[in-house]
């Protein structure tokens, strides 16, 4: 993938955050298969909750789209999240002996709650450009992480987490992330500096939450009270 213009600039500003994501022990454990199952289970439950809210954001983006191609892009991302990503979680839970009701009944941990509120605020109160800037770190970040782990030869066919890497290196997922980056570049082109600063802030905040989501899953961080 080769994002250009605005996305290249904000990706560069987020480089240290994204580097720390890739080096996080949770991510490394996904890659080499050593991630403890209890941490992955916690991640599955929290990410399932996250994806449920993520679907609302894509639906709102589709409704706010100014043209049919943009509407189609977000409708496609919504469909892929509902039918592919969330099914990946359900399949893993089935292998782990976790009932689907456990996914549905799980309560959001602090970072899950905060991250989804950040995204929902952008979706409800912001423009289509705000939404694209806020969700791109998740889409593009997962594609980059999975691609890096695949290049390193991690997550081989015998790894419990090979399906996770395969899902996020698939053509459908990587092309969706690329199209989203291209859309953000097109929407950001010609915007005044003040608006670009807002988009940058949304992108960087989401990048920080991406890191914190891995950290939350590694430490099994829940509400203290």
DSSP 187: H
210 is catalytic: yes
- Which stretch of DSSP H or E encloses residue 73? helix 68-80
The tokens describing 113, both together, are: 């709650």
Catalytic residue among 21, 93, 138, 144: 138
**Segment among 54-63, 147-156, 162-171 with least mean pLDDT:** 147-156
pLDDT digits (tens, 9 = 90+) for 199-218: 999 999 999 999 999 999 99
> Tens digit of pLDDT for each residue in 177-187?
999 999 999 99
Chain-centroid distance, C-alpha 3? 17
Residue 25 burial by Cβ neighbours in a 10 Å radius (0-12, 13-18, 19+): middle
Q: How confident is the model at residue 150 (pLDDT cuts 50, 70, 90)?
A: very high
| Per-residue model confidence as pLDDT tens digits over 41-82 | 999 999 999 999 999 999 999 999 999 999 999 999 999 999
**Does residue 133 register a pLDDT over 90?**
yes
pTM of the model: 0.94
Domain range 23-219, CATH architecture: Up-down Bundle (1.20)
**Torsion angle in degrees (nearest 10) through CA of 131, 150, 100, 24:** -70
Mean pLDDT of 4-23: 94
DSSP state letter for 158:
T
Give me the residue spans of the domains in the chain: 23-219
Q: Are 167 and 88 in contact (CB under 8 A)?
A: yes
Q: What is residue 12's DSSP assignment? A: H
């Amino acid at each position: 993938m080769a994002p250009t213009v605005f996305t290249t600039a904000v990706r560069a500003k987020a480089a240290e955050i994204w580097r720390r994501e890739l080096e996080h022990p949770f991510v490394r454990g996904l890659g080499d298969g050593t991630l403890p199952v209890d941490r992955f289970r916690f991640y599955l439950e929290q990410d399932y909750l996250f994806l449920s809210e993520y679907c609302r954001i894509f639906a709102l983006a589709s409704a706010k789209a100014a043209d049919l191609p943009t509407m189609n892009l977000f409708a496609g991302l919504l469909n892929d999240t509902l039918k592919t990503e969330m099914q990946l979680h359900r399949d893993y839970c089935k292998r782990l002996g976790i009932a689907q009701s456990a996914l549905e009944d799980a309560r959001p941990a602090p970072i899950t709650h905060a991250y989804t509120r950040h995204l929902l605020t952008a979706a409800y109160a912001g423009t289509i450009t705000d939404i694209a800037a806020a969700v791109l770190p998740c889409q593009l970040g997962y594609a980059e992480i999975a691609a890096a782990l695949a290049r390193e030869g991690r997550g081989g066919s015998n790894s419990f987490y090979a399906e996770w890497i395969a899902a996020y290196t698939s053509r459908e997922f990587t092309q969706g992330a690329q199209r989203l980056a291209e859309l953000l570049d097109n929407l950001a082109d010609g915007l005044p500096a003040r608006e670009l600063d807002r988009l940058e802030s949304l992108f960087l905040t989401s990048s920080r939450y991406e890191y914190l989501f891995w950290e939350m899953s590694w430490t099994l961080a829940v509400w203290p009270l």
